[in-house]
Amino acid sequence: MKHLVILTTFIALAPSWLLAAQFEDALGRQLVFDRPPQRIISLVPAVTEILFKLDLQDRVVAVTDYCNYPEAAKKLPKVGQYSRPSLESILLYKPDLVIASASMNRRSLIKRLETLHIQVYVVNPHNVTETMQTMTTIGAISGHQKEAKTAVADIQAKLSRLENQLKQTQKPRVLTFIMLQPLTVAGPETFIDDIISRGGGKNIVPPGPSRYPTWNSEALLAFDPEVIIVSAHPGQPAPKISFNSGRNCKQLKQSHFSD
């Protein structure tokens, strides 16, 4: 009985990572971790930023070619494009966790890594709230719950202040290009759409079969946005950040399509 009491007390006081932890990813897969992963590969640029934000950069052994923020991420070893990373390169760095995207990474790659007994946690946030949930889960998986809690609280405080500041402002019509070749825009139910709304704007891209549809210059002029935001993208023309009204949209067309 004495030994049972000691064992029960030990379990109650022991760090949570002395017990296996289970997490469900965006594909509904159940992942069990006996300990926090020490060698992480990020196949998602946004996740790479989260890992640095949670002070996990020392555990990141490789990232994609497009993981270029923060600056230190550029110096990490690369495993190829985030949509088609190299399996051989991933295996070279012997990860105990690969973080992938449900919308960008092939299921075949995920299954192949599973057969090689490499844990793959798949994320798929569509808005700021889901991104904060992803941040919290990555913090729990890695044992950096405190850092995740602090980061999420900071984001929530900033969003609250922003919401109060924008209560009486008019909402400009906003269009965001995530790529210029081809012209690819951010539609509804995307992280960018949520950011536009929270930032006091109105996304002009209508609902459709794709969350990131491809447009042509005629569509750009027809919807006549007041503000155009062009996202920087590796291998794409250098973006020019802000434009106003239909007249300047024509200027954008000339500038980006004549270069």
Residue 243 φ/ψ, nearest 5 degrees: -140, 155
Name residue 91's beta-bridge partners: none
- Evaluate if residue 2 carries a pLDDT over 50: no
Question: Within this chain, do residues 97 and 217 fall inside the same structural domain, yes or no?
Answer: no
- Evaluate if residue 151 carries a pLDDT over 50: yes
Tokens matching residue 107:
């299921």
The answer to whether position 232 is within a domain reads: yes
Alpha helices in 21-144 (DSSP H): 45-53, 87-92, 107-115, 128-142
- How far is the C-alpha of 207 from the C-alpha of 209, rounded, in Å? 7
Question: Within this chain, do residues 148 and 183 fall inside the same structural domain, yes or no?
Answer: no
Look up the CATH number of the domain holding residue 179: 3.40.50.1980
Q: What is the pTM of this model?
A: 0.81
Residues 77, 58: contact at Cβ < 8 Å?
no
What local confidence, expressed as pLDDT, does residue 11 receive?
44
Which of 57-71, 158-172, 241-255 is predicted most confidently? 57-71
Residue 157: C-alpha distances to residues 126, 136, 154, 169, 246 (Å): 20, 16, 5, 20, 36
Residue 240 φ/ψ, nearest 5 degrees: -110, 120
pLDDT mean over 49-55: 98
Tally DSSP H helices, then E strands, for the chain: 9, 10
Q: Give the pLDDT band (50/70/90) at residue 10.
A: very low
Q: Give the pLDDT band (50/70/90) at residue 83.
A: confident
194-225 pLDDT tens trace: 999 999 999 999 999 999 999 987 887 888 89
What local confidence, expressed as pLDDT, does residue 59 receive?
98
- How far is the C-alpha of 94 from the C-alpha of 88, rounded, in Å? 10
- How far is the C-alpha of 177 from the C-alpha of 181, rounded, in Å? 10
The SS3 assignment for 98 reads strand
Residues comprising the chain, all counted: 259
Question: Within this chain, do residues 24 and 142 fall inside the same structural domain, yes or no?
Answer: yes
Tokens matching residue 114:
């599973």
Q: Give the pLDDT band (50/70/90) at residue 234.
A: low
Question: Within this chain, do residues 49 and 119 fall inside the same structural domain, yes or no?
Answer: yes
Q: How many CB atoms lie within 10 A of CB 80?
A: 17
Question: Within this chain, do residues 125 and 25 fall inside the same structural domain, yes or no?
Answer: yes
What local confidence, expressed as pLDDT, does residue 237 receive?
60
pLDDT mean over 28-47: 96
What local confidence, expressed as pLDDT, does residue 4 receive?
44
Q: Which residue from 65, 108, 63 is spatially nearest to 90, judged by alpha carbons? A: 63
Question: Within this chain, do residues 137 and 178 fall inside the same structural domain, yes or no?
Answer: no
Question: Domain residues for 71?
Answer: 13-154
Question: Within this chain, do residues 133 and 54 fall inside the same structural domain, yes or no?
Answer: yes
* Domain end (from 123, 154, 185): 154
97-148 pLDDT tens trace: 999 999 889 999 999 999 999 999 999 999 999 999 999 999 999 999 999 9
